[in-house]
Structure 1
Amino acid sequence: MEQDNPFGQVLVALVTPMTHDGEVDWAGVEKHIDDVISAGADGIVVTGTTGETSTLTDAEKLKLVVVGKEVSAGRAKIITGGPSNETAHAIQLAKQSADAGADGVMAVTPYYNKPTQAGVLTHFRMIADATDLPLILYDIPGRTGIPITYETILRLAKHPNIIAVKDAKGDLAQVSRVLNQTELLYFSGDDANTLPLLSIGATGLIGVTANIASQPYRTMVDAVNAGDLRTATDAHQRLEPLVRATMTHVPGTVATKYILHGLGRIKSPRVRLPLVGPEEWEAALIEDELDLVRDVEGASFTNFRPDRNAAAGGALPRIPGTTR
């Protein structure tokens, strides 16, 4: 029996557009959400890593859900990301996000605390128990310091609300084992590995580069669904330099905002501290990669105008991110 998919297949890990002084640019948020949905996204993860969840206040996180629902108007699912490395706070945010209208929750492995797998298991189960929303486990040991082990994933898969994994671990053998033994849906959490994961049975992606170009991922997913590996591989190869520009030189959020601003799609490339814009040499590397981008649907760089000065440094918002 195959698991029903309430999320769609092409999901965007949304950046949070901000003003130069680090406040959320709400008009920019609305425009960007509309842009990515129009470009083929089935769903949007707001307040995830790419959305700068660590430096957003709870009020901002919940407003992003509300605004996402209003702008999408049923055209795409809105999933709340994060939510916290403190279980009590994560439960609270999940409940508040459900009340705000979220269609799902994506919960990351507790970072910094480094709990045992028993702690990981309890953390996720309690978040899943807190609402009726479907939950995506986010497995990204490079950021959290610990993985969700194969055995823990199998145990979590038995929870009725835990239905998917966003995988940024890159262990395709483990993914295959889990797909064989559970009904969990898998989403690529590493843009470069989207096609490899799809090829072994993953459902879709939760992508950063998709902020810039959702259409090629739509093409890739539709081709895989149709068994057309040639078309899927062509989309993968065309995307490769854009993925490299976005994901390899600075944090994905930083590069994505830098690129979107250079394309005139957001008003400022600003990020909140401790993130900072690319230094001169990093910006040069990003721009060199972009020079190699050819024929990517929805992303013409003919009029790309990067602004290194606008991106420099990071902002301190008026209100710091708070736990409760």
Structure 2
Amino acid sequence: MTTTTATPAPPFGRALCAMITPFTDSGALDLDGAQRLADRLVTEGCDGLVLSGTTGESPTTTDAEKSALVRAVREAVGERASIVAGVGTADTRHTVELALDAEKAGADGVLVVTPYYSRPPQDAVEEHFRTVADASGLPVVLYDIPGRTGTRIEPDTMLRLAAHPRIVAVKDCSYDFLGTQKVLSRTELAYYAGCEEHILALYAVGGTGYVSTVANLVPRRLRSILDAFDAGDTARAARLQQQATELIESTMSAGLPGTVTVKALLNDLDLPAGPVRAPLRPADRKTTDGLRSAYERLRAA
């Protein structure tokens, strides 16, 4: 068994935001809003932006919109931040096409979710990721989120995929901390916490950072958790993580998708967001007021 103790270098930075996709009031793609939001997020401490992921409403944006979004955000942030494009679908061929489109549009990497709905067995999951990784020159982030896809990337599958030269990272929403540590201890995969409550915990055992939906709202506050830990002030890092708990829970665990709650609060703050696309529906006023209250309490902490 090969064991590694060195923390992998962050291939896309440490603090990544799973950026929402702004739409106009009529529901069209808002590229100007996307550029303004991307610039704000990078200015406020994000090392990278993940576009067209779960939070970016990838199931309801077209292939052309995905490519246009990458191009617009690249224009806005230049080389100040990395761009990872979500290209995962339930169809291997379609995923390959999106990966090639993302490469042409200027992405630095691709986020590839486990194929959903068809629930392929592990050998098919592995072949899917290898096929996508072989198709373009971009590094690949595996997206393990079985709560949405219905299929796990099992740790043993991760161990095999880690040998591929372009599979470099994992966005971890597995809620299997033991399995995650098993892979961390035996590979050089860069692990990003995909669940905000795990930011500090994963970082402390050798994770690389996070890909966060809540970072749309408080990018600098979440980054400060990593900064405090890196400075050796673990007590402060723990306190910052704890202070963010209320907003994390209100945004991610209150019965609505994070896309809905984040857009509700961004709109309330007069920041680029716009409506969600059906079948998602907007948050009601009571929910938005609760989010605003949690946000203001965190800012005051």
User: Shorter-chain-normalised TM-score: which range?
Assistant: over 0.9
Please say if residues 140 and 167 of structure 1, whose CA atoms lie closer than 8 Å, have aligned partners that are also in contact.
yes
- Structure 2 counterparts to residues 309-320 of structure 1, below 5 A: none
Partner of 1:179: 184
Please say if residues 238 and 295 of structure 1, whose CA atoms lie closer than 8 Å, have aligned partners that are also in contact.
no
Please say if residues 21 and 57 of structure 2, whose CA atoms lie closer than 8 Å, have aligned partners that are also in contact.
yes
Q: Determine the C-alpha separation between the residues in 2 that align with 1:74 and 1:82.
A: 21
Q: Determine the C-alpha separation between the residues in 1 that align with 2:290 and 2:118.
A: 34
Equivalent of 1:257, from 247, 257, 263? 263
Q: Determine the C-alpha separation between the residues in 1 that align with 2:241 and 2:29.
A: 32
Query: So what's the TM-score if we normalise by structure 1?
Result: 0.87
Question: Shift in Å at residue 225 of structure 1?
Answer: 2.1
Partner of 2:130: 125
Partner of 2:28: 23
Question: Shift in Å at residue 287 of structure 1?
Answer: 4.8
Q: Determine the C-alpha separation between the residues in 2 that align with 1:85 and 1:174.
A: 24
Q: Determine the C-alpha separation between the residues in 2 that align with 1:293 and 1:156.
A: 39
Query: So what's the TM-score if we normalise by structure 2?
Result: 0.94
Q: Determine the C-alpha separation between the residues in 2 that align with 1:20 and 1:190.
A: 30
Q: Determine the C-alpha separation between the residues in 1 that align with 2:87 and 2:260.
A: 18
Please say if residues 86 and 110 of structure 2, whose CA atoms lie closer than 8 Å, have aligned partners that are also in contact.
yes
Counterpart of 1:197, as a letter, is L
Question: Shift in Å at residue 289 of structure 1?
Answer: 3.9
Partner of 1:13: 18
Question: Shift in Å at residue 280 of structure 1?
Answer: 5.1
Please say if residues 245 and 287 of structure 1, whose CA atoms lie closer than 8 Å, have aligned partners that are also in contact.
no
Partner of 2:163: 158
Partner of 1:53: 58
Q: Which runs of 5+ in 1 are unaligned?
A: 297-324
Q: Kindly provide the CA deviation profile for residues 71-114 of structure 1, in whole angstroms up to 9, marking residues without a partner as x.
A: 11100001101321100000011011111111001100001110
Please say if residues 17 and 29 of structure 1, whose CA atoms lie closer than 8 Å, have aligned partners that are also in contact.
yes
Equivalent of 2:248, from 223, 243, 251? 243
Please say if residues 87 and 98 of structure 2, whose CA atoms lie closer than 8 Å, have aligned partners that are also in contact.
no
Counterpart of 1:85, as a letter, is A
Question: Shift in Å at residue 293 of structure 1?
Answer: 3.0
Q: Kindly provide the CA deviation profile for residues 256-285 of structure 1, in whole angstroms up to 9, marking residues without a partner as x.
A: 0100111111263x1000010124554455
Question: Shift in Å at residue 40 of structure 1?
Answer: 0.3
Q: Determine the C-alpha separation between the residues in 1 that align with 2:273 and 2:143.
A: 30
Q: Determine the C-alpha separation between the residues in 2 that align with 1:76 and 1:202.
A: 20
Partner of 1:200: 205
Please say if residues 142 and 171 of structure 2, whose CA atoms lie closer than 8 Å, have aligned partners that are also in contact.
yes
Question: Shift in Å at residue 132 of structure 1?
Answer: 1.4
Please provide the CA RMSD for this pair.
1.6
Please say if residues 14 and 208 of structure 1, whose CA atoms lie closer than 8 Å, have aligned partners that are also in contact.
yes
Equivalent of 2:89, from 74, 84, 88? 84
Q: For 2:102, what is the secondary structure of its paired residue?
A: helix
Partner of 1:234: 239
